[in-house]
Structure 1
Amino acid sequence: MVLSPSGELWCEDERRSATLLDAQHPLNGLDYVEYRRDRNAPAGRQFWLEATFLKPAPALDAPGATILGGVRSVGLRVVTVEPDAANPLRLLLFLDAEGDFSTYVLALEHGDLDPERSEARFGFKAGCPTEFDCRAVDLCVPDPLDEPDLDYLAKDYQSFRRLFLDLIAVRNPDWTERLPADFSVALVEMLAYVGDYLSYLQDAGPATESFFETCLHRVSMQRHARLIDYTMHDGRNAATFVQFDLEPAPDPTPRVVPAGTRLVTRIARPLIGATGAPGTVLPADADFDGDPALEGASVFETSALIATTSAHNMLMVHTFADVDCCLAKGTREAFLYGLDGDAIYRPAFAGGDYLLIEEARSPTTGAEADADPRHRHVVRLDAVEDTDDPVFSDRLTGGELTARLDPLTQDPLPLQRVRWRVEDALPFTVCLSNETAQAGLVRNVSVVRGNVAPADHGRTVRRDGLTVAPGTGRWPLATLRLPDAGLTRHSGPFDPALSADGRPVTARHALDAPPRAAAPAIHLRAILTSAARRFWTPVPHLGDSGAYDRHFVAETDGDGSTTLRFGDDIHGRAPLNVESVTAFYRVGSGRRGNLSAGALVHAVSPDLAFWADPGVATGPVSLDPGDPGANVAFAEIARVRQPLPATGGTDPETIEAVRALAPEEVKAIQFRAVTAGDWREMALRHPGVASAKARFRWVGSWHCVFVAIHPVDTGNLVALPGGGVRLADDFAAEIRAHLVKFKLAGTDLAVRAAQYVPLEIGIRLCIEPGHYRGQVLQAVHEALSNRVRPDGSTGVFYLPAQDFGADVYLSRLYAAVEAVDGVESAEVLVFKRYWELPGDALDRGRIELGDFEIARLDNDPNFPEFGVLRLSAVGGA
């Protein structure tokens, strides 16, 4: 604000003061005035003004200073004027009295003062408490516009044309042109057309996209859904396994298939520059963007580097020379050996390698063509052990194992014992050998193959010279639009680890993530104006990104086009001073990747120059992402096999699906636990929990909720002396981390195992004539066991199926026993808790359990404290 001598001139930008501040300018100006008082000072010095100037204060006397204004207190005088020793820009003007609550003006007269800056407003009561801003503002209010009376319901061409014609008639009554050929009418119709177009954009733009129920674009729906904690997924690519048969290596250089090796469906036409159909391995320069022979081919890529050798093409499972052998359902280990003519050798697997177990020939006919393609299973090893069989030698005789009769001249049969993960346990019985009347003895029905790699759908492309579009207007975030449609979403980390040349170095093994957890397969290499190179990686959203995190969000619209959205230096770093961008990403996703077994038949030689950084003198020098100096070579691939179909490919979720499911999910899913029932529900959301029970207790200073966990996997229970159990440490920590997210303030949380109650049950059976007593007893034992039975059903005391507080009823035991074929009658003799004396449970027909108790009957002779079942029988054979 500036006070003009000719009146009040209100300005927000005081540039005149800057002009006066120039040391060469002869005039000075009054900057501001502050009032001070000290009632303990002598008379004449109790009230004073501190006048601050733009330059050193001029020499001024009392007559040259006048106090103007006042309502109740008027006629104030300046008694004396003194310079301020502490500040050369300030004068102290002592007054004879104090003013009222109105605004006063200090007017100074001096030849060196600018007339415009010789006055300043001030108040005597600035220190008094007030709820209002003490600054008086006189805004320059514009005159109201002379707006016509418009019809805001006009939305199309006809209504806009009618609106314009009516407005012209009001403003210019003499205007009579109405012919369509008249210039003014043509102008009106052109404006009506523009209005119609803008109205459509308004309806199909922010007005529509701003609402969950009306938005039409995927990006808008994704953002709406995120506001209610619903993740709208963009689909996921399909995944499978491939197995390579290798030619013997011409030199001892280790052979590998690196991550990112392309795998292609059959190509029947010659590539550009070739005269015939391609072989198993395509050249590294195969042009998937421009070669007509590759148009329409489905491309997969391996997701982890594997070491390969022709010695692992096919291996045998050692049966210790027995016949009619099989690997039972649920098996997790085997003994393997390989054959080189009549010589037997030991495989060289390591932990983390993949194996394919497949039926190579029919166990009935012995023919390879009759092998069941459903009997194929891929496992991943977690332990290997080199061993041997001292009974047999390391050579075959007539195709049969040779007994090792002379340990001095004959080496034992070399074996490697392999063990795979729990989740890879065999889902079916694997037949190893069989003897039939039709084919005789059929050996090696099922074999093991190495050189197996995980792979998923999508082709990696590189696009150089992309530019980032800066944000403008109300959308200040920079964006980058990808030139290719169909960005791959795969199972992998959102923020992958990258090597110095930009290659992802984190192997991806778990390729079965749900679509909502799939990550966009893309990262950027930006070249800054300083010639520095920086990598940018994707995140689900920028809400958790810091100001220095080089993150972006990949948003794919309904037409498959993808736009990358960057941060604003608060949530995610803004891409400032970026000269150009190189994008590495994959294209190909959805259901079209769900190929049948055997579809992938070609591999593509890796192109190391693909990842080369133009600013680095040397590009990648190794096929191993973890060892840039390793001396390795690409495998000599003779055949590419896809033993299993590709599964998991999912199309992007539709807008209609989100509109139907998101509101219901908000209603159905609760994200806080208040009652004991809430805590049980939250615990059951964890996939490793079979049942849970919660109770609140006062622990002296606050409430604590005790949550008892009954796990699905009994391996998460640690046995204690006396029959007690506790949760395994890692599992307990995992459950607590899962539950603490739902905890309310003021409530503590304790996680513990359920209280398992061992039972002691004795039953006497009467076996029907014509049945073997031992077989019937075995069948009853299986019916009352704690295991999964061969037919897939579970025993009565299968622990994961038990629940808290579920009483054990005698009638259920009788029903299970009498359902066994061969049981004529049964009598329960003992029915009680293991540690207690017999009570009235047998008479009452049930064993009552407390709220936190679960019945347990393992019938393990080594651990009777976990329950005992005693069976006796009469009759039968």
Structure 2
Amino acid sequence: MSTDAELRCGADGRREKVREHRFGGVDAVEAADDGRTLVVTFIGKAPHGVGPENVRIDGGRRITGIEVLRVEVEREEDPELDDLMRVTLDRTGDTARYRLSIVAADPHGRPGTEPYPGFDQRYFSAEFTFRPGGPTPFDCAEEPGCPPEVRPAPLIDYTARDYATLRQLLLDRLALTTPAWTERLAPDLGMTLVELFAHAGDQLSYQQDAVATEAYLDTARRRVSVRRHVRLIDYAMHDGCNARAFVVIGTAEDLLLEPGTFRFAAIDARPRGPHDPPEPGPVVDERELGLLDEQDSVEIFEPLSGDPLRLRRAHNEIRFWTWGDEFCRLPRGATAATLRDEWAGEGRALDLRPGDLLVLEEVRGARSGTPGDADPAHRQAVRLTSVTPGVDELLDQPVLEVTWAREDALTFSLCLSTAGGFDCSPVPDVSVARGNVVLVDHGRTQRDPEIATVPPEPAVLPSCEPGFGCHDRTDGNEPAELIGVLIDKTRRRSLAVKDVRELHAVLGIAATERAGIGLENAGRRRQQVVPATTHAQADALRRLLAQSVYPGIKPRFRPVLQRSPVAQAVPFPVAGHIAAGQAARLAAIPGRVQQRLVELWRSARENGLNEDEIDELTTLFSSRYTERLRVRPVPVLRELLHLSDELLAAKRRRLDVLIARARAGTVLGSDIAWEIACSWGLPYAEGLEPAEPVLHGPATAVVQDPRAALPAVRVFDGDEVWTPRRDLLRSGPRDRHFVGELDDDGRLVLRFGDGRYGAAPKPGARLEIGYRIGGGEAGNVGAEAINRLVIRSGPLPAVQVRNPLPAVGGTEPEPVEQVRQLAPLDLRRTRLRAVTAEDYAAVAGELRGVQRAAAELRWTGSRQQVHVAIDAAGGGEPSRELLAEVGDHLRRYRRIGHQLIVRPAQRVPLDLALRVCAEPGHQRGQIITELRRVFGRRGFFHPDALSFGEPVRVSRLVAAATAVPGVTDARVTRLRRLFHGDAGELADGLLRVHGLEIACCDNDPEHPENGVLALDFGGER
């Protein structure tokens, strides 16, 4: 067979047929490294009886006539594997191409020209080279098989991009290709197709321009595009936030309101005309709300907590207990108070619990004592962290000792009792505490959820199911043409059975039914198909058309909520508040154990221990102390007090691990509360459940961060609930999460996962979408604006509703232009890692309770240490809990390789002496008192006045002394560190301190180690 006459094809379909019919053939020939051995791979199995006389080598330029010396066949036992044959030659060839053929021997025992019996006439030979991997100066490309005929490109104006120019372009082109067609009337089919293509081109051009525009932050116009752009640089663009408020309910009797049966309304109670209906009472029925909504401006507020609301009459107004003092006040920064209780039968009237909300309110003037002079700014909400019943034994008065978090510390001085009036008589109950407080946020839940149906899975058209009516789809675009004709039919009527059968024949029955088109009662002649409406049929056909033109592209399921604005709110409770509360309660367990041991030791000296107390100690310290506690409780308790740290070391290590996890932001589950109850005791596990109200965070957290807000939307798919997230980057393939994106028209678009980042709804699923309407600045109503309780069903209770504090936190969506300006700068403002000493100090100073912090990097010879000094707020020594909290917080930002050491600020006590010259006529005692006040712990050397590394300057000391009335001159005679010699500080005019030190001079005679101040006078009488 001549090489020039060989057939060259781009695809080889004969090889598999040779293998199926079990014909023999040569698959490939390769030369071994020695150059004299050829490895022949057969198509299938090797024939029997092949010898050197059946192998012929042809080809070559310089070296020809190569003969075969030996043939070895290697047969594979696996029927799926091909056999091999090794051919040994008498010599090696040159760089030209050779051909090996398996042929029948001629009568003289030499290789012939006919194929070996049983071998295919096309695959009985194969080409090879002796140097397949050797260098060659040539780069020969394979000749293309059957190249397409190249026609001259038409003259097209590529600047035509809109409908009018594209329509004219098509008409001009048709005038050249089909000059006989001159029809230009609109009903003509040709003109319809031209206008249809022009419209499609116009839409495609617009889409291309939109894609190029939305691809960059500077040019993007759509809000969704800007949101996704800035997300790439970790900027959280917010879509607004709703407002929250504290509602106080006054009730005439104890009530229990079930969740979902009530909400609150702020109705504009403007003066009504004579013909208007009367103003509604404080409690309205849900059915009246629609009428009120038409007449007045109504804003709806719903409770955040899903727990039942307990209302007690005794909580309407709770008086403070001042322990008999006539002039009493809670100072600014207070976190505790004593409430007056009353006996009620065998119990108490007040039923406050940790986690309840109280509103502290001034109801009388602090000077006059009259209600009209009460300062409305002296109102604050607090969340109780502990409630301890007590009794004032002097007056047999039951009281409640309540505390709240330091985040809720009073921001003003609250007067409790005073003297006022014309006779300056005592005025009690200047301020009171309001119970029955509920936290609400702005928004109205839609009673009827919206329904969204996930489109069925699109049909995969390229693969045809074998069977009757399976056409060859490689010829033209027959499915698209048929679907186009059927879409045109749906404009006039529904599809008939014959239409659906034709669609089955082209696409297959399974593909058509997956698209939502199937037969029902096919025996009837004019039976219509499912779905029953022509609109649904047209939609299903359009999906099939998209799959026929663009196979493999699935339509995106993006349901759009019909009503707006959808409320945006931070999830309540915040996970960070729950974790922080759990960490604080776990950290307090060792101290509570010590306090409990002291209480038991004191009570055991008189009454011994009962069985419950013995069981409590057995849980803490194991059962080996049980019998000894029954016999000799006092010595054993003293021993336990002395050895408690050693005996509880293992439990405390586990406790430290849990505290670190909670401080890192991890919410501990119910299993941890069960573990604490088993290892420490049930009282120490109280308040650790994530659902406990005491863990809902301080009352000051009512102001929300709009960048953490999520749409108030829930999607129900049967028993499954889909919840919103800001993005799906942390969502797994089984997480039922979605993202709510605010569109330019104010409506919310829901985006689900793709199966990798977040789950995707199943095709054909019916989703119920429930959401709330509201949010923005409209919810920022003033104080006393929320004045109605809306009851959905049941009798109307006798209650009064008010909000002593205004609603806060309502925010409008962030403008796109503002995002475009602020997002690139956010990378500089956000600290993600602490690298320098200033970074560590700044991160430590973010925690509440830290006045300021300083840090230094020190090289130890083997590693780098970071020493962080903490100056606690208020000037006291930082507690161990605060130091541990700072350390856990810094570990999130610690650079790898830095060893972290957190300790209190190092105080530098001073030895200071002043010589003061007083003016004549001033008493020494008054001047000494004033100087000691100025240079005392609350004056010049106040812990909050001096910072880390700040030197003490002689000039400032002299200026502070001469500012005292009666002092004409002052001079510093001694300035040095206490217990240190003179290092020339007075001569230099300042005393230097290191970066982690703070100068102090308390001048306390009982604690001279904290600094000494000596005064010497001259010139006075």
In 2, Cα distance between equivalents of 1:718 and 1:95: 89
Partner of 1:612: none
Partner of 2:453: 467
Q: Contact (CA 8 Å) 2:738, 2:751: kept in 1 or not?
A: yes
Partner of 2:41: 50
Cα gap change, 1:266/1:452 in structure 2, threshold over 3 Å: closer, same or farther? same
Q: TM-score, normalised by structure 2?
A: 0.65
1:706 equivalent in alignment to 2:691: no
What is the CA deviation profile of residues 371-422 of structure 1, one whole-angstrom value per residue up to 9, with x for unaligned ones?
2221111112222221111222xxxxxxxxxxxxxxxxxxx11111112221
More helix by share: 2
- For residue 61 of structure 1, what is the amino acid of its counterpart? V
Cα gap change, 1:861/1:714 in structure 2, threshold over 3 Å: closer, same or farther? farther
Which of 561, 567, 574 is residue 482 of structure 1 equivalent to?
A: 561
The offset of 1:210, in angstroms, is 0.7
In 1, Cα distance between equivalents of 2:774 and 2:76: 79
Which of 737, 757, 761 is residue 575 of structure 1 equivalent to?
A: 761
Partner of 1:354: 357
Q: Contact (CA 8 Å) 1:239, 1:646: kept in 2 or not?
A: yes
The offset of 1:329, in angstroms, is 1.9
Which of 822, 832, 835 is residue 979 of structure 2 equivalent to?
A: 835
What is the CA deviation profile of residues 704-757 of structure 1, one whole-angstrom value per residue up to 9, with x for unaligned ones?
2525344463689548xxxxx9971221221232x32xx3x6666555554432
1:855 equivalent in alignment to 2:999: yes
- For residue 847 of structure 1, what is the amino acid of its counterpart? L
1:428 equivalent in alignment to 2:412: yes
Partner of 1:665: 826
Pairing 1:314-463 to 2, within 5 Å after superposition: 314-338=317-341, 347-392=350-395, 412-438=396-422, 440-461=425-446, 463=449
In 2, Cα distance between equivalents of 1:806 and 1:249: 60
Segment of structure 1 superposing worse, 825-834 or 175-184: 175-184
In 2, Cα distance between equivalents of 1:692 and 1:637: 54
CA RMSD of aligned residues (A): 5.0
1:511 equivalent in alignment to 2:511: no
In 1, Cα distance between equivalents of 2:72 and 2:383: 94
Q: Contact (CA 8 Å) 2:561, 2:748: kept in 1 or not?
A: yes
- For residue 202 of structure 1, what is the amino acid of its counterpart? Q
What is the count of residue pairs matched by the alignment? 784
Partner of 1:86: 77
Q: Contact (CA 8 Å) 2:856, 2:995: kept in 1 or not?
A: no
Cα gap change, 1:142/1:215 in structure 2, threshold over 3 Å: closer, same or farther? farther
Cα gap change, 1:286/1:734 in structure 2, threshold over 3 Å: closer, same or farther? farther
Q: Report the secondary structure of 1:796's partner residue.
A: coil
Q: Contact (CA 8 Å) 1:301, 1:455: kept in 2 or not?
A: yes
1:818 equivalent in alignment to 2:962: yes
Pairing 1:283-322 to 2, within 5 Å after superposition: 283=285, 293=294, 297-304=298-305, 305=307, 307-322=310-325
Cα gap change, 1:459/1:816 in structure 2, threshold over 3 Å: closer, same or farther? farther
The offset of 1:214, in angstroms, is 0.7
In 2, Cα distance between equivalents of 1:569 and 1:477: 13
The offset of 1:151, in angstroms, is 4.2
- For residue 49 of structure 1, what is the amino acid of its counterpart? V
Segment of structure 1 superposing worse, 838-847 or 341-350: 341-350
Partner of 2:225: 220
In 2, Cα distance between equivalents of 1:330 and 1:173: 93
Partner of 1:613: none
Q: Report the secondary structure of 1:811's partner residue.
A: helix
Q: TM-score, normalised by structure 1?
A: 0.75
Cα gap change, 1:554/1:858 in structure 2, threshold over 3 Å: closer, same or farther? farther
Q: Contact (CA 8 Å) 1:566, 1:575: kept in 2 or not?
A: yes
What is the CA deviation profile of residues 91-112 of structure 1, one whole-angstrom value per residue up to 9, with x for unaligned ones?
3333233667777666664675
In 2, Cα distance between equivalents of 1:694 and 1:467: 59
Q: Contact (CA 8 Å) 1:383, 1:420: kept in 2 or not?
A: yes
Q: Contact (CA 8 Å) 1:329, 1:428: kept in 2 or not?
A: yes
In 2, Cα distance between equivalents of 1:688 and 1:438: 44
- For residue 92 of structure 1, what is the amino acid of its counterpart? L
Segment of structure 1 superposing worse, 583-592 or 857-866: 857-866
1:61 equivalent in alignment to 2:50: yes
Pairing 1:535-684 to 2, within 5 Å after superposition: 535-576=721-762, 579-605=765-791, 638-666=799-827
Q: Contact (CA 8 Å) 1:70, 1:103: kept in 2 or not?
A: yes
Q: Report the secondary structure of 1:94's partner residue.
A: strand
The offset of 1:317, in angstroms, is 0.8
The offset of 1:534, in angstroms, is 2.8
Q: Report the secondary structure of 1:540's partner residue.
A: coil
In 1, Cα distance between equivalents of 2:798 and 2:924: 58
Cα gap change, 1:466/1:478 in structure 2, threshold over 3 Å: closer, same or farther? closer
Segment of structure 1 superposing worse, 338-347 or 581-590: 338-347
Cα gap change, 1:240/1:712 in structure 2, threshold over 3 Å: closer, same or farther? farther
The offset of 1:468, in angstroms, is 3.9
In 2, Cα distance between equivalents of 1:84 and 1:539: 62
In 1, Cα distance between equivalents of 2:350 and 2:923: 46
Cα gap change, 1:748/1:243 in structure 2, threshold over 3 Å: closer, same or farther? same
Cα gap change, 1:362/1:181 in structure 2, threshold over 3 Å: closer, same or farther? same
Cα gap change, 1:292/1:313 in structure 2, threshold over 3 Å: closer, same or farther? closer
Partner of 1:729: 884
What is the CA deviation profile of residues 839-875 of structure 1, one whole-angstrom value per residue up to 9, with x for unaligned ones?
5323432111234433234556665544455668899
What is the CA deviation profile of residues 759-796 of structure 1, one whole-angstrom value per residue up to 9, with x for unaligned ones?
34344666668878777666555544555xxxxxxx43
- For residue 448 of structure 1, what is the amino acid of its counterpart? A
- For residue 717 of structure 2, what is the amino acid of its counterpart? A
Which of 713, 728, 737 is residue 522 of structure 1 equivalent to?
A: 713
In 2, Cα distance between equivalents of 1:296 and 1:572: 41
In 2, Cα distance between equivalents of 1:31 and 1:590: 78
Partner of 1:266: 267
In 1, Cα distance between equivalents of 2:959 and 2:786: 53
Which of 922, 927, 943 is residue 799 of structure 1 equivalent to?
A: 943
Q: Contact (CA 8 Å) 1:492, 1:511: kept in 2 or not?
A: no
Partner of 2:909: 758
Partner of 2:8: 8
In 2, Cα distance between equivalents of 1:326 and 1:99: 111
Gaps of 5+ in 2: 103-114, 459-546, 576-666, 670-689
State the identity as a percent: 35
Q: Contact (CA 8 Å) 1:706, 1:752: kept in 2 or not?
A: no
In 1, Cα distance between equivalents of 2:759 and 2:116: 56
Partner of 1:236: 241
Q: Contact (CA 8 Å) 2:780, 2:806: kept in 1 or not?
A: yes
Partner of 2:536: none
The offset of 1:661, in angstroms, is 1.6
The offset of 1:310, in angstroms, is 1.6
Q: Contact (CA 8 Å) 2:1003, 2:1013: kept in 1 or not?
A: yes
Q: Report the secondary structure of 2:765's partner residue.
A: strand
Cα gap change, 1:774/1:592 in structure 2, threshold over 3 Å: closer, same or farther? farther
The offset of 1:686, in angstroms, is 6.5
In 2, Cα distance between equivalents of 1:597 and 1:356: 13
Which of 779, 784, 809 is residue 953 of structure 2 equivalent to?
A: 809
In 1, Cα distance between equivalents of 2:368 and 2:877: 46
Pairing 1:112-261 to 2, within 5 Å after superposition: 142=148, 146-156=152-162, 160=166, 195-196=201-202, 198-203=204-209, 205-249=210-254, 255=256, 258=259
Q: Report the secondary structure of 2:732's partner residue.
A: coil
In 1, Cα distance between equivalents of 2:441 and 2:25: 76
Cα gap change, 1:546/1:437 in structure 2, threshold over 3 Å: closer, same or farther? closer
Pairing 1:8-27 to 2, within 5 Å after superposition: 8-11=8-11, 26-27=21-22
Partner of 2:517: none
